[in-house]
Structure formats: structure tokens, C-alpha cells
Amino acid sequence: MKTPFDLTGKTILVTGASSGIGRQTCISIANMGGKIIASGRNEERLKETITMLPEDKHKMFKADLTKTSEIEEMVNDLDKINGVVHCAGIVKLLPMKFYTKEYLREVNEINYEVPVLLTKTLHKKRKILNNSSIIFISSIMSQVGKIGQGLYAGTKGALVAITKVIALELAAKNIRVNCISPGLVKTPLIDLITFKKEIEENIKLHPLGLGDPEDVANACVYLLSDASRWITGTNLIIDGGYCAQ
């Protein structure tokens, strides 16, 4: 029996699809019947993601979305889509005294400018169908303060803010725009963080423990599906109880 969470007939673009939350989001969407267009910079890992998906209907685009030309090229080649999940992002933990223009620009470009400009390009070229869904992946750091996370938190907070504006601008076409703010999730990004003591302390702040990529991916399925057809401009917090303390 078909459920309101079914994604059969929907084509979804997922950025950052080569690992972590992006890869699991592709898997979860495909398991609910959706067709995936996977985007990322690492071709080999993108191919691995595609092999994990049921059925042989999915596509991939190797693209560096920090380059305007590659955004344009990918969007021009896209079929019409029913949704996009912006999973691509980076973490850079630095105390304020170590901030530089270069660090600010790097984190802002990947975490904020890329998803916003990709969304603009998709809309301008009329690639997003009416009654579609756009999801930005933010972070619980957009809601709370933690030492060393200023650069990261700033970009993620910006996503939450602009989500509300884009949601209003696209409401006439019934295109829903929402944000998801996960707490600490077990992904390869954790292994790249050098502040191990900070990570250990963060784990203790999640009453339900660390999240799995599936926890975020399931929320994406919900916001992409007809089950959430009356939800837009929101920020869904999935943090294992972090903010409850």
C-alpha cells in the first residue's frame, strides 16, 4: 500500500553524495522509490554510491560546485527535478584568534554560497518543478554556541535564515523550502576533526548518543515526500536531545 512517504516518480538531486549523510540520503530516497541524481567531486566515491542504490535508473554528476561554470554545466544537463538536498559541506574548527579571510571565504563558499547559488540557478533555469521540495542541511551549531565553531556555525546559521526567505519567494509555485539541523552524526567528517577532546565532550551532550546518517536521511525523505506538503520555512532539529539541556 502506498504511503505518504513514498517517493516513486520523484527525481531528487543530492549534493555531497559521495559519503556520509549525502550518501545515506541517496540510499534512503532510492529505497522509497525515488530517482537519484548524485553530485560530488570524487568520481570513484560517487560511483560507489550509485552501486548501493536499488534499480538502474540513477545518474551522477562529477562537479566542483565552487566553480560557477560547473554549476551551470550540471544544471543545464539536468532533467526536471522534484527536489534537491544540499548535503555538501565542510567543518573547520578554529578559535576566533586564528580566523583569516582565507578561512572565512573557504567555509562560507562551500557551506553557504554553493547551496544558495545552486538553488538560484536551478530555479532560474526552471529545473525545479512546481510542488517540489528543497532541503538545506544546516547544523545544531546554528542554534547553540561552542568554542572553536564560529566559522562553521556562522555559515550554518545563514542557511537557516535564508531558508525562510526562499520559502516565501517560492511559495507561489508550491515549492517548499526547509532546513535540517543535525547534532553530531557518525560520518567520516568526525575523523577529520583534530579537536578530539572537543568531540568527546560533544558526545556527552547528546542524551540519546550520536546520530547515524540514517536519522538525517529519514528526515530528508519526510520533507521530500507528500507527508510534509504543508511544511515550509522551518528548521527541523535532529540532535539526540542536545538542545533539551
Tell me which residues are annotated as active site: 152
With contact defined as beta carbons under 8 Å apart, do 202 and 146 qualify?
Answer: yes
Q: What are residue 82's DSSP bridge partners? A: none
Residue whose grid cell is 538536498: 85
Rounded Cα gap, residues 70 and 65, in angstroms: 6
Q: For residue 180, which of 124, 229, 133 has the smallest C-alpha distance? A: 133
Q: Which residues of 178-217 are buried (b: 16+ CB within 10 A; e: fewer)?
A: bbbbbbbbebeebeeeeeeeeeeebeebbeeebbebebbb
SS3 content of the chain, % helix, strand, coil (to 5): 50, 20, 35
Q: How far apart are CA 182 and CA 142, in angstroms?
A: 10
Q: Which cell numbers in the block locate residue 3?
A: 504511503
